[in-house]
A and B are shown apart, each in its own frame.
Chain A
Amino acid sequence: MGKSKNNKVVSYNKWGYIFLLPFLITYTIFQLIPLFTTIYNSFFENYRVGLMQVGPNFIGLQNYVELFSTPDIWQYLANTMIMWAMGFVPQILLSLLLGAWFTSPSLRLKGQQFFKTVIYLPNLIMASAFSMLFFTLFANEGPINSMLVGAGILSTNYNFLFHTFSARALVGFMNFLMWFGNTTILLMSGMLGIDPSIYEAAEIDGASSNQIFFRITLPLLKPILVYVMVTSLIGGLQMFDVPQILTSGTGDPSRTTMTLIMYLNKHLYSKNFGMGGALSVFLFVVTAILSVIVFKFVNSKEVK
């Protein structure tokens, strides 16, 4: 009888495989095989000059040598990181502040649901439409210039997209707007997870709210802060829609807003599969290293 019961269990468990099949098949076809062929492509010379096709010829690591010996990739990596930081620094500061306020038991703020709804809204907006909107609003003849000149803040129109700092700052600002609501909500769940008795003890000892924030909340939040930062960095490396639409793919002024994925996109359009492959592998390796850091922190089970 024990044996028949066992058989029964086995016959149920084959359904585990059946239910997994759609995922595994789809993932293999559309992600895993492409990953390997992308890596494979990176070892071949394969591009077009006008109508003439060169390759594919096996050239070993030559694409990687070319990729890393030209200054382009370092410039684009620097652009990506600068624009990411311009969005991330204000984002984490504001999110910490709002998170601390929303979770503070002594403040008991009303209308939290409303404020959370509002600050999360930009995250759901189509990045390309948002970027197009900023392009028209901040255009030389656009409404922002008209307002700033009208209010006497500027004497003449300022062309935001013609200057490196303002163009990068616009990209950073859009990323900041789109992500600080999400970060606030993540940090809040981390802050709510801190044992309230620690705060009570600190209050009895006469700690000020600043002391509580810097000496208790911040250190206890460190794992989730690292998590937020690394996942944001992974997202930042994928930055594409906003600068692509804002500059129509040129990365102007003089390619100072060109990101790594915009560079990849260029190679894909010009069908330079060798260099595109090498660049993809570079991005894959960097992302993989960052992901390992995330998993280390998630698995240290301080984060939940």
Chain B
Amino acid sequence: MGNKSETQMNQSRRIVCYVVLVLVSIMCLFWFYLLFINATRSNSELSRGFTPFFSTHGLENWNNLVHGTLPILNGLWNSFFIAITTSVLTVYFSTMTAYAIHAYDFVGKKTIFAFILGVMMIPTQVTVLGFLQLIGKMGLDDSFIPLIIPGIAAPIVFFYMKQYMESTLSMSLIEAARIDGAGEFFIFNSIVFPLMKPAIAVQAIFSFVTSWNNYFTPSLVLHTDTKKTLPILIAQLRAADWLKFDMGQVYMMIAFSIAPVIVVYLFMSRNIVGGVSLGGVKE
């Protein structure tokens, strides 16, 4: 009998849990629902107040936005180009750095490892002043290079790769390849790197998203309108006298800035959510 009341207790607790979880989920998704609804409504519909249904002006808003004053197709391409290249460099070189620490023994290895862990928490914001002066002197102001190349040195991604390597990469495999006469660079590219695929997929997405969403540094580096990325264009939209704007276009602009990430997330969510608990540290 005690058992029965206990299961009943659990049953009622479970119902409470589900109700709260559904409410929490609504709290997370509600804003995006409003966003996508409003992106399909015309300015006059929007000014008449809120209705919870999709309308038919999505394509019209999109056309107005593309042919408007903001160079958003340029922005889309710039964001995309920077995010892809940064993400490729980040995962490739972070894996390489992790492999150097994992697979070799050399003088100063411990010091370098400790150094990378030590600088992991330094935010880019505190060095950005010197960074801007430096790229000015190098003639790289208003260029994509200072936004892409620093991706090679990503201490947090390195740390994740190092952890993953410790649990999956066996040295005997590398020894065997050496006996077969494979060179070290070849071993890294055609044996180690493919073995790290699950970790690389997760970190590639995180790097892509971080770069795609980045606003602070690009807004200080990029000045030419056609070179700007989407977050900078959103800031410009915000700084403009927004009452003059067609609100349908504003919602469409926000919707299409976040849509790529949502689409990727829908396909990869299992890996991404799993990757968060594995990595522990994420900014």
Contacts and interface: CB of A to CB of B under 8 A. Distances in A.
Interface string A89-123: 00000100110010000110101010111111110
B30 to A, nearest CB: 10
Contacts of B158: 23
Interface in B17-54: 17-18, 20-21, 24-25, 27-29, 31, 34-35, 38, 47, 49-50
A214 interface: no
Nearest to B206: A124
Contacts of B67: none
B280 A35 contact: no
Contacts of A141: 47
B196 interface: no
A73 interface: no
A245 B237 CA distance: 10
Given A150-B49, A244-B235, A34 B153 contact: no
B212 interface: yes
Contacts, number: 282
A37 B130 contact: yes
A26 interface: yes
B59 interface: no
B126 A38 contact: yes
Interface in B114-145: 116-134
A132 B237 contact: yes
Contact of B270 (A113, A125, A244): A113
Given A13-B106, A19-B99, A245-B234, A268 B132 contact: yes
A133 B253 CA distance: 10
A27 B153 contact: yes
A219 interface: no
A19 B188 CA distance: 10
Nearest to B283: A235
Nearest to A143: B50
B209 A124 contact: yes
A147 B50 contact: yes
B104 to A, nearest CB: 3
Contacts of A37: 129-130, 133-134
Interface residue range, chain B: 35 or more
Given A23-B158, A127-B213, A150-B49, A273 B129 contact: yes
Given A126-B261, A132-B238, A117 B153 contact: no
B188 A261 contact: no
A182 B231 CA distance: 23
A118 B25 contact: yes
Main secondary structure of the interface of A (DSSP, over half): helix
A240 B10 CA distance: 44
A124 B211 CA distance: 11
Given A106-B10, A268-B129, A26 B152 contact: yes
A143 B129 contact: no
B133 to A, nearest CB: 6
Contacts of A136: 38, 242, 247, 250-251, 254
A100 B220 CA distance: 43
Contact of B103 (A16, A98, A109, A133): A16
Contact of A284 (B34, B122, B265): B122
Centre residue among A18, A34, A118, A181 by max chain B CB count within 10 A: A34
Contacts of A249: 239
A42 B112 CA distance: 28
Interface residue range, chain A: 35 or more
A117 B264 CA distance: 12
B180 interface: no
A240 B273 CA distance: 25
A141 B116 CA distance: 50
Given A30-B153, A143-B38, A23 B93 contact: yes
Contact of B28 (A20, A132, A177): A177
B121 A287 contact: yes
B127 A133 contact: no
A24 B100 CA distance: 12
Given A16-B109, A146-B50, A234-B121, A126 B127 contact: no
B215 interface: yes
Contacts of A261: 125, 216
B265 A129 contact: no
Centre residue among B97, B126, B153 by max chain A CB count within 10 A: B126
7 contacts: A19-B188, A23-B153, A30-B149, A31-B127, A121-B29, A136-B250, A264-B128
Interface of B: 10, 13-14, 17-18, 20-21, 24-25, 27-29, 31, 34-35, 38, 47, 49-50, 93-94, 96-97, 99-101, 103-106, 109, 112, 116-134, 146, 149-150, 152-153, 155, 158, 178, 184-185, 188, 209, 212-213, 215-216, 220, 230-231, 234-235, 237-239, 242, 247, 250-251, 254, 257-258, 261-262, 265, 269-270, 272-273, 276-277, 280-283
Given A19-B96, A126-B215, A241-B215, 19 more contacts: A12-B184, A16-B100, A27-B119, A38-B126, A38-B128, A38-B130, A101-B21, A111-B21, A117-B273, A118-B25, A132-B254, A134-B31, A136-B38, A188-B277, A245-B215, A245-B235, A249-B239, A268-B132, A283-B126
Question: What are the 3 closest A-B residue pairs judged by CB atoms, nearest first?
Answer: A16-B104, A34-B130, A37-B130
